[in-house]
Amino acid sequence: MTAGRLDAETARMARVDRVAGWPRLAFAVAAWAFLAGVVVQVFLVGIDLFAGGDSGVHRDFAYVYGWLAPVLVLLAGAADVSGRGRALAVALVVLFAIQVVLPTLRESYPGLAILHTPNALAIFALAVALVQRARTAEVWAEVRRWSGRGPIDG
Amino acid sequence: MNRRAAIFAAIAWLYLVGIIAQVILAGASLFVELDWSVHGELGYGLGTGVLLVLLAGLATRPDRRTVGYLVALTASGLIQPMLAEAREVAPFVAAFHPVNALALTWLAWVVARRATALSGFPALPGRRSLEDGTGSHL
């Protein structure tokens, strides 16, 4: 192979690496951000229950990070996540939508409203599973390689 | 099948079920005004339960990583009632009670899966990744 062809091949590989890499990075960032959102959301319940906080803050905070759930579905497709990973992202959207509705049922169907707390646990579990599927360590290694601080073939 | 590990697994899964029941009781207190004392009483029971998980786990002579998870689970389980009790003196510390519940649930899940793997029960989804310690895969 001539030097010119080798350079072209290297440039093509770098392009492929970037196209496959950025959605994965975005997926990892979104998954971690969503998990952090869930933890903050639960802390706000604690503030409401134990420190006399306003329950409206807990309610409104859901809309601050909730949009990440459908974004994770899109990114799961772009990042070439496995079918199971994509199914988890879809399940997260469904459970999150249900979660928003459950407290509104406290008057009409209090037995269903109770499920708000275990459903929160399920959302947390799905968020953890998505973070695990984001393979953050690998993504971080890629970022370091792109920025020229990591091993070239790492 | 390892008998001690099977007992460890049974206790660990039972503990996880207890945590989920506890979360449902919290929901019942919030939404159907069930007395919070029910949640509190089960909480103290789970405080004993976490010690059983620890003892059953240590009896199986598990690997270092499992011991680490067991210690973290025990610490998280023991401080959980203390956090709720801190509501008068340090309400912002007490606010971590539900956050610690999330950590407790995750740790209980990890320990239960590791206990199942130790016992030789049929593989759970992701068991391979449990063994190599890398978590689930894409």
- pLDDT, one tens digit per residue, over A132-151 is 888 776 777 777 777 766 55
Q: How far is B64 from chain A (nearest CA, A)?
A: 21
Does the pLDDT at position B125 exceed 50?
yes
User: Do A129 and B136 count as a contact with CB atoms less than 8 A apart?
Assistant: yes
* Among the listed residues B19, B2, B5, the one whose alpha carbon sits nearest the alpha carbon of residue B80: B19
User: Averaged over A22-48, what is the pLDDT?
Assistant: 93
pLDDT band at A79 (very low <50, low <70, confident <90, very high): confident
Tokens of A44: 């706000």
Between residues A142 and A41, the one the model is more confident about: A41
User: Do B28 and A47 count as a contact with CB atoms less than 8 A apart?
Assistant: no
Does the pLDDT at position B135 exceed 60?
no
- Tokens 């002579």 correspond to what residue? B61
- Tokens 């990973």 correspond to what residue? A85
Instruction: Give dist(CA B14, CA B20) in Å, integer.
Output: 10
Percent of residues, chain B, with pLDDT higher than 70: 87
User: Averaged over B23-32, what is the pLDDT?
Assistant: 94
What are the helix (H) ranges across chain A? 3-50, 55-65, 68-78, 83-101, 110-113, 116-133, 136-146
Asked if B20 and A121 count as a contact pair (C-beta separation under 8 A), the reply is yes
Q: How far is A123 from chain B (nearest CA, A)?
A: 11
* Among the listed residues A56, A61, A130, the one whose alpha carbon sits nearest the alpha carbon of residue A93: A130
**Which ipTM value was assigned to this complex?**
0.84
Concatenate the DSSP letters of all residues of B15-33 into one string: HHHHHHHHHHHHHHHHHS-
Tokens of B122: 């049929």
